[in-house]
């Protein structure tokens, strides 16, 4: 299935393809504050509808993960890294989060 997503103000828009059944809820410092619900997909399954220059990037600790966000509204729709892409399901249109299986991840202990 193809899902449309983006930030609050519409500056960032994208499509992601896959079978959305399970998400991960991480309790690390950034995920907890931003409310990420991660859906991991292969990098080629995420297609930006807006130019990459519309994104701002935040990295910390190992600097391997690139937390992409909108510089206008602050929404953080996805994270890219060497092993794949994590889409923030809260930034997808028409997804009933209560119907998804949520796996807890203790990122705070890493």
pLDDT for residue 91: 97
Q: Can you tell me the mean pLDDT for 29-42?
A: 93
Tell me, yes or no, whether 108 lies in a domain: no
Domains contained in the chain, number: 1
Tell me, yes or no, whether 109 lies in a domain: no
Q: How do 84-88 and 38-41 pair as beta strands?
A: antiparallel
Q: Can you tell me the mean pLDDT for 101-109?
A: 94
Tell me, yes or no, whether 55 lies in a domain: yes
pLDDT of 15 above 90: yes
pLDDT of 62 above 90: no
pLDDT of 53 above 80: yes
Cα four-point dihedral sign 29, 10, 13, 98: positive
CA–CA separation, 82 vs 43, rounded Å? Answer: 9
Tell me, yes or no, whether 48 lies in a domain: yes
Tell me, yes or no, whether 61 lies in a domain: yes
- The CA R_g of the chain, rounded to the nearest whole Å, is 13
pLDDT for residue 82: 86
End-to-end Cα, the chain, rounded Å: 33
Average per-residue pLDDT for the chain: 94
């Amino acid at each position: 299935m193809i899902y449309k997503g983006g930030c609050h103000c519409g500056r960032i828009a994208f499509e992601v393809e896959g079978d959305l059944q399970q998400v991960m809820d991480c309790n690390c410092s950034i995920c907890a504050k931003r409310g990420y619900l991660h859906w991991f997909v292969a990098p080629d399954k995420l297609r930006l509808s807006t130019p990459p220059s519309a994104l701002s990037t935040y990295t910390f600790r190992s600097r391997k993960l690139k937390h992409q966000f909108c510089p206008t509204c602050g929404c953080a729709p996805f994270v890219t890294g060497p092993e794949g892409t994590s889409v923030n399901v809260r930034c997808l249109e028409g997804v009933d989060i209560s119907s998804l299986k949520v796996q807890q991840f203790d990122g705070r202990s890493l």
